Amino acid sequence: MIQERPFDILSKSSGKQVLIRLKGGVYIRGTLTSFDAHMNVVVESAEELDDGELKAKLGTILLRGGNIIYVSPA
């Protein structure tokens, strides 16, 4: 088995739809376009979700990695 590194999943998800859960119960859904070693990410066509319902259309956002609980390729 070739061991991947966790951030490989961010490389593979670039340009694709992801769901991101933040601390405090906020979810962001959109297209991952860039990330860095601190897990700071840029998401385009970002939507903020509350219990699965659309709360706000945010366009492009820069999310600080420190508030991210998980990133999931959609």
Q: List residues binding a copy of itself (CB under 8 A).
A: 1, 3-10, 14-15, 19, 22-24, 26, 28, 33-36, 39-42, 46, 58-74
Q: Residues near 31 by Cβ (< 8 Å), separated by ≥ 6? A: 15, 16, 17, 18, 43, 44, 45
* 54/74 with CB nearer a copy of itself: 74
- Closest contact distance (angstroms) between CB of 31 and a copy of itself is 12
Is the Cβ of residue 8 or residue 54 nearer to a copy of itself in the bound state?
8
For the chain, how are helix, strand and coil distributed in percent, rounded to 5? Answer: 10, 55, 30
Q: What is the smallest separation between the CB atom of 51 and a copy of itself, expressed in angstroms?
A: 11
Residue 25 phi/psi, 5-degree rounding, is 80, 15
